[in-house]
Amino acid sequence: MEKYDVIVIGGGLLGCFTARALTRYRLKLALLEAREDVCTGISRANTAIIYSGADTKPGSLKSEMCVRSAQTFANLCSQLGVRYSPCGSLMISFGPRGEEVLGKKMAQGKANGVRGLALLSREEVLSIEPNVSPAVTAGLFAPEAGTVIPWELGIAAAENALHNGAEFQFNSAVTRIEKVPDGYVLEAGGRPFHARGIINCAGLYADGLHEMVAKPSVRIYPEAGDYYILDTKASGVIRHIIFHEPEEKGKGLTLVPTVDGNILLGPSKIPSGEKNDAFPTSKEGLEWLCGLAEQVIPSLPMEHVIRSFGAVRPNPFYVRHDPDTGLLHRDDKGISDFILHETDGAPNFLSFIGIKTPGLTCALELGLYAADRMAALLGNLQPNDAFNPNNPAPLRLKELSEEARAQRVREKPSYGRIVCRCRGISEGEIIDSIHHSIGAKTVDGVKRRTGAGSGRCQGGFCTQRIIEILSQELGIPVCDIQKDRPGSKVIGGKDHG
Ligand SMILES: Cc1cc2nc3c(=O)[nH]c(=O)nc-3n(C[C@H](O)[C@H](O)[C@H](O)COP(=O)(O)OP(=O)(O)OC[C@H]3O[C@@H](n4cnc5c(N)ncnc54)[C@H](O)[C@@H]3O)c2cc1C
């Protein structure tokens, strides 16, 4: 049986950053991930915003982490070789109720230490965002908000953790955890593992894993959401992240000008009750998005929608066991702050259960928090003096000058063969993505690493070629190449060569 000091369960943003933070110590560490890749859960279906910290309650751990994260995010991205757009955010109101909310967020943000917040008049809003509806009445500008590509960040953190000594075990769903005198024995992917300490970062399923060693105390009650992505043809319609504060009680629309030049709209809020990590969309939610988009940005070219996707919020609630009825009772109010759960009967077992927004913004901080807590629990850990926080950025030919690109093509002709015409991604970059330290194994894995297939045609022209490249580089038949999760083969039937 493989023995480790610490095992991290789950390779989403939290798991990857926790593993990276643990490599600052000298210990034997593994991350067990159920799927074939990192960042296939909540970390790939969210709003991609780096929040300034004006939205969170003063004095909370969430606020403290969020403000610090926003102020240092550009630095983290340059360390990890990840692209970041520090575009700022603008919360807009359409009447007295919204204006009151803006005023409250301004005061809250100031109390939290958010820098550069400014209340704007209607005219000031329209001067920086001319396509917002003329019915707008005021705005709250937060210059330190921004946007990132969540999986690009997660993959970079995972690769950095790997280079610093963490092991990654994919296709290793943890199905059993048993407390033993010197730690825990886990079964994952049909194999046994032993660890002195465990950090549970299993996203939507973190409550179930926690209950393998502890009585139910926190449960996740999921809620669905929907998003639209507009093609880069709509780029420039908005310049900042826009948070719409509606006059009637309820959720407003969020619009994000993404790092790749698309516009992301969403999420809707749909009661679901299902932990469906296939993230289906709902007609109701998508219609709600269209209706609000028309009110907030009337000229938003919805004919340029290229994709919709669903998301699931892992809402955490405390639960209590009623000895009379034998049923679990859920608190009325959900848990709003970040909590790293520990249980008396399960020493050195830490769980992040129901970490929602701003979990992406705070992934680095949450990882450090969990790693340092585990180090304190295990005691006597030595620092890893060889820890290197930097991760080389992958080659992105589009970012090079024409001359530098030509030089690359001379060195490796596959950089000159464009596979994804919408995004201008070459065969060489796709091959690189497959051979990276945590490389792509599926069509979507290639998409997450290179952007190939994420443009206007959504892979209509390039998917076949990407499958051929995956088949050739991984040495597996084209018929066995999956789009995404196991069971999502793109080509049916038998391979006749
Ligand atoms: C709709 C939505 C929008 C959001 N928008 C923002 C935003 O704009 N800004 C922001 O800061 N935050 C945002 N967040 C929060 C942020 O996306 C998450 O906090 C972040 O992605 C962290 O995810 P995670 O690592 O906890 O979970 P996941 O990414 O889901 O990772 C959990 C991993 O655990 C694996 N796993 C599950 N069970 C097992 C098992 N038994 N064994 C092994 N592995 C297992 C899964 O396969 C998965 O890879 C948003 C969240 C939601 C839901």
CATH of the domain at 472: 1.10.10
Structure tokens at 241: 């992240």
pLDDT at 497: 55
Residues 207 and 236 in one domain: no
Q: Write out the residue range of the structural domain in which residue 26 sits.
A: 2-43+151-220+315-378
Instruction: Please identify, among 286, 314, 342, the residue that sits at the C-terminal boundary of a domain.
Output: 314
Same domain, 310 and 325: no
Do residues 170 and 33 make contact, with C-beta atoms less than 8 angstroms apart? yes
Does the residue 62 lie in any domain? no
Q: pLDDT of 254-266, one tens digit each?
A: 999 999 999 999 9
| 215-224, 313-322, 406-415, 486-495: range with lowest mean pLDDT | 486-495
Q: Say whether both 321 and 300 belong to one domain.
A: no
The answer to whether 38 touches 436, Cβ cutoff 8 Å, is: no
304 touches ligand 1 (CB under 6 Å): no
The tens digit of pLDDT for each residue in 266-281 reads 999 998 778 887 888 9
Residues 123 and 231 in one domain: yes
Count how many domains the chain has.
Answer: 3
Question: Which two three-digit tokens encode residue 253?
Answer: 């629309």
Identity of the residue numbered 451: G
* One domain, residues 361 and 462: no
Residue indicated by tokens 């950090």:
199
* Neighbouring C-beta atoms of residue 86, cutoff 10 Å: 15
Residue 323 has pLDDT above 60, yes or no: yes
Ligand 1 and 354: CB distance under 6 A: no
> What is the average pLDDT across 416-437?
97
Which atom of ligand 1 is least distant from the CA of 256? 8
What integer pLDDT is reported at residue 128 of this predicted model?
98
Q: Is the minimum distance from the CB of 483 to ligand 1 under 6 angstroms? A: no
Question: Does 305 lie in the same domain as 324?
Answer: no
The number of the ligand 1 atom at minimal distance from the alpha carbon of 360 is 11
Is 47 close to ligand 1, i.e. is its CB under 6 Å away? yes
Query: Is 79 part of any domain?
Result: no
Asked if residue 176 and residue 31 are part of one domain, the reply reads: yes
Could you tell me if 16 and 206 are in contact, meaning their C-beta atoms sit under 8 angstroms apart?
A: no
The DSSP output letter for 113 is T
* Ligand 1 centroid – CA 49 distance (Å): 14
**Per-residue pLDDT tens digits for 147-180:** 999 999 999 999 999 999 999 999 999 999 999 9
209's torsion region: left (phi>0), alpha (psi -120 to 50) or beta?
A: alpha
Shared-domain flag, residues 247 and 303? yes
285 in ligand 1 pocket by Cβ < 6 Å?
no
Q: Is the residue at 52 inside a domain?
A: no
Residue 369: which H helix or E strand, with range?
helix 363-378
- 496 in a domain, yes or no? no
For residues 475 and 401, state if they share a domain. Answer: yes
44-55 average pLDDT score = 97
Residue 305 sits in the same domain as residue 443: no
- The enclosing domain of 129 has a CATH number of 3.30.9.10
Q: Which helix (H) or strand (E) holds 167?
A: strand 167-169
Q: What's the whole-number mean pLDDT along residues 18-34?
A: 98
Q: What is the CATH number of the domain that holds 367?
A: 3.50.50.60
Residue 110 confidence (pLDDT): 97
Is there a single domain that holds both residue 157 and residue 138? no
Asked if the bond preceding 358 is cis, omega within 30° of 0, the reply is yes
39 CA from centroid of ligand 1 (Å) = 8
Q: Is the pLDDT of residue 239 over 80?
A: yes
Hey, which of 47, 218, 265 would you mutate to test ligand 1's pocket, going by the most ligand atoms within 8 Å of its Cβ?
47
Residue 493 has a pLDDT of 67
Q: Measured from the CB, is residue 225 less than 6 Å from ligand 1?
A: yes
Q: 201 CB under 6 A from ligand 1? A: yes
Q: Cβ(266) to ligand 1 under 6 A?
A: no
Q: How far is the CA of 95 from the centre of ligand 1 (A)?
A: 35
Q: Which of 25-39, 117-131, 352-366, 482-496 has the lowest mean pLDDT?
A: 482-496
Whether the CB-CB separation of 245 and 252 falls below 8 Å is answered with yes
In this predicted structure, what is the pLDDT of residue 277? 79
| Dist CA 494 CA 461 (whole Å) | 23
- Over residues 473-490, the mean pLDDT reads 92
Chain position carrying tokens 């999502």: 488
**232 found inside a domain:** yes
Token digits of residue 121: 């008049």
pTM tops 0.85, yes or no: yes
Which atom of ligand 1 approaches the CA of 352 most closely? 26
Ligand 1 center to 148 CA (angstroms): 15
Indicate if 130 and 263 belong to the same structural domain: yes
What is the mean pLDDT of the segment spanning 181-196? 97
- CB distance 355 to ligand 1 below 6 Å: yes
Element (H, E) at 174: strand 174-180
- % pLDDT > 70, the chain: 99
* Ligand 1 atom nearest residue 267's Cα: 1
22 inside domain: yes
